[in-house]
Amino acid sequence: MEFLDRYQQIVADAITKYTFKDKPSELYDPMNYIISHGGKRLRPIMVLMACDLFGGDLKQAIKPALAIEFFHNFTLIHDDIMDEAPLRRNKPTIHTLHGINVGILSGDGLMLKAYKFFEDLEPEIFKACIRIFTHTGLLLCEGQQYDINFETQENVTFDDYIRMITYKTGVLSASSFEIGALIARADFKDAKAIFNFGKHIGIAFQIMDDYLDVFGDQAQFGKKHAGDIYENKKTVLYLLAREHGTEEEIKELDYWYGKKTENIDKVYGVEKIFRRTKVDEKALRLIEKHNEIGQSYLKKIDIPEEKKKPFIELANYLLRRES
């Protein structure tokens, strides 16, 4: 997708331009380390795409787009600490290299730098963007806490799970699109439609993440295989297995999710149940469902269909991703 390459280059150039040169280096080098790993940088691209869709000036959107990328990486640093994750994008995590204290501080630093990157916006747009950005951050924290709660919470419903991933993942994609739209001065109705498009694509993205944790190619995915099973995370795979499993299979799931252990037998046991209950197929159908809901919101925006094509391509690309 040529349009994606173009936006990625804009983001990459901006990241190079705004590389942290502040002191102490022990704080800022880890911040540069995680930002330089790249990944697909989808969320800052979403800011630029929405700004373009509504005819805005991309130059005004570049620093807010970086703010989203900095904020996203702040959440990843802290998420890795909470999950005790050794790898991120196939590289050692910051707390693994530098310790938990540096991980916490560098994450905090990225979040605060993110706020500064909105400062060039005109007062009215600045206020609207900061309101969305702050609210998104709070929802993300709520989603992370729900995720932690689920590890020990006996009864987690499918609605609980959708709320958690909406807060933890969906709203950041949604807000990225909405902030881009606001910078382009889109009207309220269109800004909300692109927000809802992003929300459902973000939900689909997270369900795909859960799917890839178990069924993906670990070398391409860049994370520990079946990390969610080790951590007792009640993902969509777990919930679907409980819904469609036999009484004996549910009992076995309860046994394995009742203990936190590095025992490989746990992974084998749970994976076997996942395969028998065909949760992989069911998860992929859910991903398609949220993609369709997202695209229904895109159709509501009164803009030529040709300009919407990159959004449809991006959504379909996320469904096919392997890492």
Residue type at position 19: T
- CB-based contacts of 101, cutoff 8 Å, min separation 6: none
Residue type at position 319: L
Is it the case that residue 164 has pLDDT exceeding 70? Answer: yes
Contact 302, 270 (CB under 8 A): no
Q: What is the pLDDT of residues 184-226, one digit of tens each?
A: 999 999 999 999 999 999 999 999 999 999 998 766 655 678 9
d(CA 54, CA 49): 9
- CB-based contacts of 249, cutoff 8 Å, min separation 6: 241, 273, 276, 277
Q: What confidence score (pLDDT) does residue 219 get? A: 60
In sign, the C-alpha dihedral spanning 165, 271, 263, 90 is negative
Q: What confidence score (pLDDT) does residue 66 get? A: 98
Question: Given the structure tokens 């590890």, which residue do they identify?
Answer: 151
- Which of 65, 67, 47 lies closest to 174, judged by CA? 47
- CB-based contacts of 152, cutoff 8 Å, min separation 6: none
What number is the average pLDDT over the span 257-275?
92
Is it the case that residue 299 has pLDDT exceeding 60? Answer: yes
Which tokens belong to 184?
A: 């382009």
Q: What is the pLDDT of residues 4-18, one digit of tens each?
A: 999 999 999 999 999
Contact 145, 163 (CB under 8 A): no
- Cα-Cα-Cα-Cα torsion 282, 285, 291, 294, nearest 10 degrees, comes to -70
In sign, the C-alpha dihedral spanning 201, 206, 212, 215 is negative
Which tokens belong to 31?
A: 């911040």
d(CA 32, CA 20): 6
d(CA 77, CA 83): 10
pTM beyond 0.95: the answer is: no
Q: What is the pLDDT of residues 106-142, one digit of tens each?
A: 999 999 999 999 999 999 999 999 999 999 999 999 9
Rounded mean pLDDT of the chain? 93
Is it the case that residue 322 has pLDDT exceeding 50? Answer: no
Listing DSSP states for 47-93 in one string gives HHHHHHHTT--HHHHHHHHHHHHHHHHHHHHHHHHHHT-SEETTEE-
Q: What is the pLDDT of residues 33-87, one digit of tens each?
A: 999 987 889 999 999 999 999 999 999 999 999 999 999 999 999 999 998 889 8
Which tokens belong to 213?
A: 């944790």
Q: What confidence score (pLDDT) does residue 323 get? A: 36
- Judged by average pLDDT, the poorest of 24-33, 95-104, 129-138, 151-160 is 151-160
Assess whether the previous peptide bond of 44 is cis (omega < 30° from 0): no
195's enclosing H/E stretch is helix 188-215
Q: What percent of the chain has pLDDT above 70?
A: 97
Alpha carbons within 13 angstroms on the beta-carbon side of residue 59 total 0
Q: What confidence score (pLDDT) does residue 240 get? A: 97
